[in-house]
Amino acid sequence: MWVIPASLASSDWIGGIEKDALTGNILYAPENHEKQTHVRQDKVDRVAQDIGELDLSGPESGDVLLIGWGGTFGLLRQAQQSLAAQGKSVSHAHLRWLSPIEPGLAKIIRNFKHVIVAELNMGQLRAVIRATYLIDAIGLNKIQGMPFKVSEVTEAVERELGITPGSSSTAPVRSDALPANA
């Protein structure tokens, strides 16, 4: 049913104005705002109970965990499988839920020596991961309006492992040789 904008009948249907917890009438009381904020958070928290298993490719522990979400799925999975085929201990967790963050991630994230969060933005998910799990997640960010290339991801993982990209030998990596967003 469509509601005519600015009609009296629509006041309890649309808008971001806080409503009374009991009557649904507009109410500006601070105590009500606090109560409604907790009600909304409880709803989000209950969603976590119905989230399925974490989409994980690779073992539940190892050297590197690649974390991605949204459109990064295919290339991160391809990079993880390519690195695993070379004998590297790399897993890929693809998040389908960001709020609440998938509960399965908490079960495995500390089982990895390195966590790389690949995002096509400035690193918002990495900040959430760091704050939520208190780990030193590394950002692999690209903000050029183009998707990652599989080679960019595999090179970032190899750098994190101390391997010169494209070789099979371990070599020290100079911190000034890393891109600023790695």
The SS3 call for residue 4 is coil
Pairing of strands 55-57, 90-95: antiparallel
Q: Within 10 A of 137 (CB to CB), how many other CB atoms are there?
A: 22
Of 13-27, 38-52, 78-92, 111-125, least confident by mean pLDDT is 13-27
Show Cβ contacts of residue 170 under 8 Å, excluding neighbours closer than 6 positions.
161, 162, 163
Mean pLDDT computed over 71-100: 96
| CA dist., res. 91 & res. 88, Å (int) | 9
Pairing of strands 112-119, 138-141: parallel
> The whole model's pTM is what?
0.75
Higher pLDDT: 158 or 44? It is 158
Instruction: Sketch the domain layout of the chain as residue ranges.
Output: 18-50, 55-177
Tens digits of residue pLDDT in 159-171: 999 987 665 543 3
The amino acid sitting at 1 is M
In this model, does residue 7 exceed pLDDT 80? no
Cβ partners under 8 Å of residue 94, min gap 6 = 55, 56, 57, 67, 68, 69, 72, 73, 76, 77
Structural contact between residues 16 and 40, judged by C-beta atoms closer than 8 angstroms: no
| The pLDDT of residue 8 | 60
| Cβ count within 10 A of residue 72 | 24
Decide if 19 contacts 26 (C-beta within 8 A).
yes
Is residue 56 within 8 A of residue 108, CB to CB? The reply is yes
Give residue 2's pLDDT.
58
**Contact present, 182 and 142 (Cβ < 8 Å):** no
What pLDDT is attached to residue 89?
A: 97
CATH classification code of 55-177? 3.40.50.920
Among 87-91, 120-124, 145-149, 163-167, the minimum mean pLDDT is found in: 163-167
Contact by Cβ (8 Å): 91, 66: yes
In this predicted structure, the answer to whether residue 112 has a pLDDT above a threshold of 50 is: yes
Please state, rounded to an integer, the average pLDDT across all residues of the chain: 85
- In this predicted structure, what is the pLDDT of residue 167? 58
Q: Greater confidence, 173 or 61?
A: 61
- Whether the per-residue pLDDT at 1 is higher than 70: the answer is no
